[in-house]
Amino acid sequence: MRQVLQHLEQLARLTRGKDRDSMDATLVEVLLPLLEARSVVLWEALPDEGQDRLLTRARLERGMAVPQSSAPWVPLADLPRVDDDPTRAQAWRACQTRVIAGEGEARLLVPLITESERRLLIEARLDHAPATQSVRVVEGMARIFENFINLLDSSERDTLTGLLNRKSFDDTFFKATQRDPAPADAPGEQRRCHGPYWLAVVDVDHFKSVNDRYGHLIGDEVLLLIARILRSTFRHDDRLYRFGGEEFVALVRACDAQAAAAAFERLRRNVEDYPFPQVGRITVSIGYTVVREHDTPSDAFERADRAVYLAKAEGRNAVRGFETAVQIGEPSPQRGAERDVELF
């Protein structure tokens, strides 16, 4: 009876988290003492040009006070590859729990795949092979964890594209912009490029005519493909949103204004160069701004939104920065049917 109550308390802890980071941390905190393990890690596989990289969602070892995770400023190419460990890679591909017992050490590998096709793996290192009952308990907790991740995704993500939705914007904006900076001893490239955040509003040009001419099914396919282009253009730790209709938002980190402009120009070019089935050529207008200290999400969005309307007023298929427009005093049309021209 005592063991049952302990498991119930552990499940209560696991499902108490209200965001992904806290749930990840709680999972390893629950599993480490349950398995009497040396360490427990929750991995996530991220695609990178034909090979998968390992992101540490949460790691806890004996003697550690709190779980750790991969630093958000680490480039994808610097993360370890899934194939570097054949045993781990095999468990993931087979999508089956594996117990590997060796002399003086054992490993427990429990893969998970969420409805949004996130590929996760629980890896525990132990002094000896875990009991069958313990493995079953871990598998059960993994399924519950997977279900709660699915619930979080359904509330935070756009159902069509899988990008973050408008409802999640405020929380993820503050979480991203308040993260700790890269440490002084970080590798040079990571330290140099640890600049401010930039917020961009991305609007699909003439999207209504796509729906009118080709129908909503083709229109939805265009939005799906643009979401895919967004993912392939930006880094794994950048925040990408669909705000509804043909409006997307990107919250990215860049070294400086020049790097931010280059990143958003690359997105514009990638969309323009993509051969959309049946439709052919699609373009986007992009407005962006630097995220200032003490900015609210609505403050940053409003500036980027003004910049995107300037891009549209100049003929669309363009990238405009709010700060650049301020410096040169360009006119900015306001949203709405009747637009008065005013200077920044």
99-130 confidence digits (pLDDT tens): 999 888 999 999 998 887 788 999 999 999 99
In this prediction, residue 179 has a pLDDT band, given cuts at 50, 70 and 90, of low
> Is residue 246 among the annotated active site residues?
yes
Closest alpha carbon to 227 in 243, 215, 213: 243
Report residue 85 as tokens.
Answer: 């460990």
Q: How many of the other CB atoms lie within 10 Å of CB of 253?
A: 24
d(CA 60, CA 307): 44
pLDDT at 325: 81
d(CA 276, CA 262): 23
Domain limits, CATH 3.30.70.270, in the chain: 164-328
Q: In the 8-state DSSP scheme, what is residue 103?
A: T
State which amino acid sits at residue 200: A
In this prediction, residue 51 has a pLDDT band, given cuts at 50, 70 and 90, of confident
Alpha-helix residue ranges (DSSP H) falling in the chain: 2-14, 20-35, 86-94, 132-156, 169-177, 188-192, 207-214, 216-233, 257-273, 297-313, 322-328
For residue 298, is pLDDT > 90?
yes
Poorest-confidence range of 60-74, 136-150, 206-220, 272-286?
A: 60-74
For residue 182, is pLDDT > 60?
no
pLDDT at 340: 38
Closest alpha carbon to 51 in 81, 30, 29: 81
For residue 132, is pLDDT > 50?
yes
pLDDT at 15: 67
Q: Per-residue pLDDT averaged across 155-160, rounded?
A: 90
pLDDT at 343: 35
Domain limits, CATH 3.30.450.40, in the chain: 1-156
Distances from the Cα of 259 to the Cα of 67, 130, 234, 316, angstroms: 33, 50, 12, 22
pLDDT at 188: 40
pLDDT at 2: 58
Share of the chain above pLDDT 70, in %: 85
**What length does the chain have?**
344
Q: Which of 29, 44, 123, 246 is catalytic?
A: 246
pLDDT at 192: 42
d(CA 283, CA 102): 57
Higher pLDDT, 336 or 19: 19
As a whole number, the mean pLDDT across the chain is 86
Alpha-helix residue ranges (DSSP H) falling in 78-123: 86-94
| Residues 214-236 as b or e (16 or more Cβ within 10 Å = b) | beeeebebbbebbbebbbebbeb
Q: Per-residue pLDDT averaged across 132-154, rounded?
A: 90
In this prediction, residue 328 has a pLDDT band, given cuts at 50, 70 and 90, of low
In this prediction, residue 186 has a pLDDT band, given cuts at 50, 70 and 90, of very low
Closest alpha carbon to 36 in 137, 130, 109: 130
When the candidates are 3.60.10.10, 3.40.50.360, 3.30.70.270, 3.40.50.80, the CATH number that belongs to 164-328 is 3.30.70.270
In this prediction, residue 331 has a pLDDT band, given cuts at 50, 70 and 90, of low
3-state secondary structure at position 163: coil
Closest alpha carbon to 285 in 261, 256, 260, 264: 264
Written out in words, the top-level CATH class of the domain with range 1-156 is alpha beta
Poorest-confidence range of 15-19, 75-79, 135-139, 168-172?
A: 15-19
d(CA 45, CA 63): 27
Q: In the chain, how long is the greatest CA-to-CA distance? A: 76
Poorest-confidence range of 6-20, 109-123, 218-232, 276-290?
A: 6-20
